[in-house]
Amino acid sequence: MEAKAYLAVFAKIQKIYEDTGAGKFLAFPLNNIYSFTPKNLSPLLGNGSADAALSLEKTAEFSRIINTPVKGMFFPSAGHETYLWDLYDEILATADIAESNKSESEHKEYKKACEFLFVKDEWEHRTNSESYNAYCDYKDRFYALTEELINLRTNNSTPINDSKLKQKKAEIDLLEAEWSSRGNRAKVELYLSIVKNFETSCPSVSWKEIKSGFDKDISLQRSLSNSDFAPTYLYPFDV
């Protein structure tokens, strides 16, 4: 059955059975309508494709499909050519956000924490600072070693080797000590707590950060058919 026939049938079923007043909606899988092979998807991730035009068009097509909103009760005013990036832009521009009265000292404390944890990139978007990245690196390594220790203790296929357990435990203890001294563990976790508590009780601050992260002039690309789209990717591409 052709894609248009599928859509016509789905639209008819939706019209008969969907009840927005009762909060009921219907959604249909589109895997029989749209098909992307690994060869199609590899250009999306720049996987060695020499055909830039194909890469651009496949990225645009995939992005439009993935970002087509569920209309009806969720987005009743969404038009035929409306995508999630259009709705995000509208919400970010028009939403009313709750304000919270924070003291001057709380604002200073929050600013100090942000200056330690984050830096601004060329588009004024917030990214992790070197200190925060160091903390994250130690954290990842710590949990990886801890997982290895747990596997040694619970692996029933081989006898438990006390020397290996002691060696792994010593590695964890050494890494944890370095995490505290070189990875700024206590300071980072304190500042993360300050940022989380402040932004939770003062949503307007988080909203401004989210809003600044979506700029249509920067975030959207233009396809060869002269339509704008937000590049959207699938990982892993070869599933």
Question: Are 172 and 109 in the same domain?
Answer: yes
Question: Are 112 and 82 in the same domain?
Answer: no
Instruction: Put residue 164 in one of left, alpha, beta given phi > 0 → left and psi -120 to 50 → alpha.
Output: alpha
**Is 180 domain-assigned?**
yes
Cβ atoms 220, 85 nearer than 8 A: yes
**Is 84 domain-assigned?**
yes
Question: Are 34 and 112 in the same domain?
Answer: no
**Is 207 domain-assigned?**
no
Question: Are 108 and 197 in the same domain?
Answer: yes
**Is 71 domain-assigned?**
yes
**Is 144 domain-assigned?**
yes
Question: Are 11 and 74 in the same domain?
Answer: yes
Question: Are 134 and 78 in the same domain?
Answer: no
The residue written with tokens 């100090």 in the block is: 112
Question: Are 127 and 86 in the same domain?
Answer: no
Three-state SS at 26: coil
- Of 164, 168, 187, nearest to 117 by C-alpha is 187
pLDDT 10s digits, 54-70: 777 888 888 888 888 76
Question: Are 135 and 78 in the same domain?
Answer: no
Question: Are 225 and 173 in the same domain?
Answer: no
pLDDT 10s digits, 112-156: 999 999 998 877 778 999 999 999 999 999 999 999 998 888 875
Q: Which is higher by pLDDT, 209 or 150?
A: 150
The pLDDT value recorded for residue 180 is 95
**Is 194 domain-assigned?**
yes
Helices and strands (H, E) in the chain, number of each type: 10, 4
Question: Measured at the alpha carbon of residue 88, what is the angle toward residues 194 and 216, in degrees to the nearest 5?
Answer: 100
Q: How many domains does the chain have?
A: 2
Cβ atoms 51, 43 nearer than 8 A: yes
The pLDDT value recorded for residue 78 is 57
The pLDDT value recorded for residue 30 is 57
**Is 237 domain-assigned?**
no
Question: Are 176 and 137 in the same domain?
Answer: yes
Three-state SS at 12: helix
Question: Are 91 and 141 in the same domain?
Answer: no
75: containing domain: 3-97+218-229
- Of 28, 35, 6, nearest to 72 by C-alpha is 28
- Token reading at 7: 């859509």
Phi, psi of 210 (to 5 degrees): -65, -45
Instruction: Please state the pTM of the whole predicted model.
Output: 0.59
Which letter does DSSP use for residue 20 in this model? G
Instruction: Name the average pLDDT for the chain.
Output: 80
pLDDT 10s digits, 98-116: 777 889 999 999 999 999 9
Cβ atoms 27, 9 nearer than 8 A: no
**Is 22 domain-assigned?**
yes
Question: Are 116 and 73 in the same domain?
Answer: no
